[in-house]
Amino acid sequence: MFSDDARTIPQYIDTPAPSHDSHRPCTTFCPRRAGNLVLNGSFSSGDLTNWNITRSYATVNPVQSYNGNNAVRLGQFTPPPFQVSRDNLWQEVCLPANAESITLQYDWLVDGVSAGDLLIVTVEDSYRSVILPFLPRVRGNSTPQREWTTVTSPIPDRYAGQTVIIRFSSGMSSNPPTSFWIDNVRLDVTLNTSP
């Protein structure tokens, strides 16, 4: 049985440690600009450029895009011997020190039947502590089916000047597997320009 506590992640969903350099404070690496800081969040490059993946058969595909050319699909069978996949897709984003408002937004679509298949979206600090634990979990039998849903969530401005990790993790516990589609991932920032 799965817990719906957003801090509990089922064992069949991999959450690898971030790279060793993700523990850096983002003083020199941070963009000092407002706007969307996620790179290739609409997957318009046609691939997973700027995204990190592990144990994944995630694919970028125009079949189910929200309003652009592509979306990423998590959750499917692996190539032979056809084991069910565990997909983990993430991007590290450095927040400007003078960020005043930080908002995560993304679109998801589910196509499946199994309550055991699960998509978990987290925002973590550079030490992998979940800082935004209340994002909705999506199960394979979630509704609406085959309709895009937009999620928007503020991130506390106390994380300004730090690296955060936006992570999409899916795990399949059944056959046929569920397809989870993600598109239009954004981390919008406004800056405090007062002296």
| 173-189 residue pLDDT tens | 766 778 889 999 999 99
Exposure b/e, 146-164, CB count within 10 A at least 16 = b = eebeeeeeebebebbbbbb
| Mean pLDDT on 91-108 | 93
Give percent above pLDDT 70 in the chain. 75
**Would you state the pLDDT for residue 35?**
94
| 10 prior amide bond cis, ω within 30 | no
* Per-residue pLDDT reduced to its tens digit, 141-158: 777 788 899 999 999 989
User: What is the CB neighbour count within 10 angstroms for residue 4?
Assistant: 8
Domains located in the chain, CATH noted:
31-189 (2.60.120.260)
- Confidence check: pLDDT of 18 > 50: no
